[in-house]
Structure 1
């Protein structure tokens, strides 16, 4: 009898950034893996830092399907919101194809909605609101498609525990060990409730001491700074334009139009997918 196979797709969150073990990252998906079955579990982590939905569709999905997994997690979208190329129609279309591919193959699909990066970073309102609007759009798409494909979906966008500063690493964008463990524990609870996980629940308490303040500052000054710089080169010019547009609308009292515009774009993106499904 072959072992249960679990494949994780996504970006740095699933890669495990923030949960360092030895010289590498572990992360929530690795912590969850052992609890999926009483017998052995084969875990493959295909997530790559900086990945967007395009990379997940065009690269990670092909590799994941080749492994014929029993479980496939697809947690992605934040990096799309941090790019000037953000397009909710494209995000919806890619996620629909990824979810469909794994469910057609018989895998149990795991998905999650996530908090917006602007609020986690504590950006000023005019900068944070456009990012929040984008992340809400992604989350709406993930909610709708998770329901369509019967995914085991974790609501991790606005829950009290996700806003606890103690769950996050020094960069405020990635969970620390405690946060990764909470993600694993909560996914396991959902899977167990659905009768799809028979192994032991992951431990909620950290295995290692929290990084010292000096170690956290050192990370921010080296790898963390590089992470921010790479994304700001692409995002910052557009984010400033979005912020200027935000302030103009606030001055005119028409901010609600931006929310309505974003909501209409999500509805149109999902409607287009429905039409395509009917045609097929």
Structure 2
């Protein structure tokens, strides 16, 4: 997993461990902790990171507002007001994958919503944590005609996240790297969420960058899982029941449109005009970045 070192932004001030730092996590199921079950609840990378931000006499005060299935609009309208009221020193904002699984996906609207979230948090001196994420089509191993439309959407989301991370001096992780995606030991049975090892890796990478800024004073979380991984039988059973239901709930309104998009992929491939679909996606991204007054290079569509 690549680590991006961003120049400090408005909120990137060095803090001392004289008081307990306040850390809030916003987002969807990834940040809620799905894939890292401890007892009867999800833990996840944000909770693991929280334990290493503060120190013994001033442990971090942590709140996880992330909710499975959340869209960028949900983060902006529901989670952000609560996060601001918490007055955080550090805020994780990881969202966007669920947006790509909706029929109503609009990269410009998503960019406006995410920009508003970042702007409000940074305005009060909060340090942002962000990450670009792998596309669900490749994670699920979908056929190419189905996977390519989702990949274009996620690349556009990642490009917006990169641009906003630069603007607001965020601590940013590249979690869409091929090596990270291909390492099966990092992922849970559903192939969409990290397992315990993956959540620990994300927490350790963020801790490393926060420590460099003088914002993490505790010990980094360990990298090795403490829970026994689910058996192959248990994993298959989960995929056949809860996992299938999870995917279905998030893709129901997308499936008819996705089939049409897949048909367009096949037609353009047969005609040798697939580049037109990529160009259309790049134009939409350019309009989205312009809408939030950002000059983002189109080359980032490929990251």
Instruction: Normalising by structure 2, report the TM-score.
Output: 0.88
Question: What is the match of residue 170 of structure 2?
Answer: 151
* Cα distance in 1 between the residues matched to 2:241 and 2:266: 33
Question: What is the match of residue 212 of structure 1?
Answer: 231
Q: Is 1:268 matched with 2:284?
A: no
Q: Is 1:102 matched with 2:124?
A: no
Give the superposition deviation at 1:263: 1.1
Give the superposition deviation at 1:251: 1.0
Structure 1 residue aligned with 2:45, among 3, 21, 28? Answer: 28
Structure 2 residue aligned with 1:163, among 150, 165, 182? Answer: 182
Task: Please say if residues 51 and 59 of structure 2, whose CA atoms lie closer than 8 Å, have aligned partners that are also in contact.
Answer: yes
What's the secondary structure of 2:242's corresponding residue? helix
Q: Which has the higher contact order (CA 8 A, sep 6+)?
A: 2
What's the secondary structure of 1:172's corresponding residue? coil
Instruction: Normalising by structure 1, report the TM-score.
Output: 0.95
Tell me the C-alpha RMSD between the 2 structures. Answer: 1.2
Q: Runs of at least 4 residues of structure 1 off by over 6 A?
A: none
* Cα distance in 1 between the residues matched to 2:251 and 2:112: 26
* Cα distance in 1 between the residues matched to 2:218 and 2:178: 26
- Structure 2, gaps ≥5 residues long: 1-17, 295-303
Question: What is the match of residue 240 of structure 1?
Answer: 259
What's the secondary structure of 2:293's corresponding residue? helix
Tell me the alpha carbon deviations over residues 221-268 of structure 1, each in whole angstroms, 9 at most, x when there is no partner: 332121122123211111101101111111111111111111111111
Tell me the alpha carbon deviations over residues 146-193 of structure 1, each in whole angstroms, 9 at most, x when there is no partner: 000000011111251332111111110011001101111111112122
Task: Please say if residues 35 and 194 of structure 2, whose CA atoms lie closer than 8 Å, have aligned partners that are also in contact.
Answer: yes
Give the superposition deviation at 1:2: 4.7
Question: What is the match of residue 194 of structure 1?
Answer: 213
Give the superposition deviation at 1:215: 1.6
What's the secondary structure of 2:77's corresponding residue? helix
Structure 1 residue aligned with 2:146, among 104, 127, 136? Answer: 127
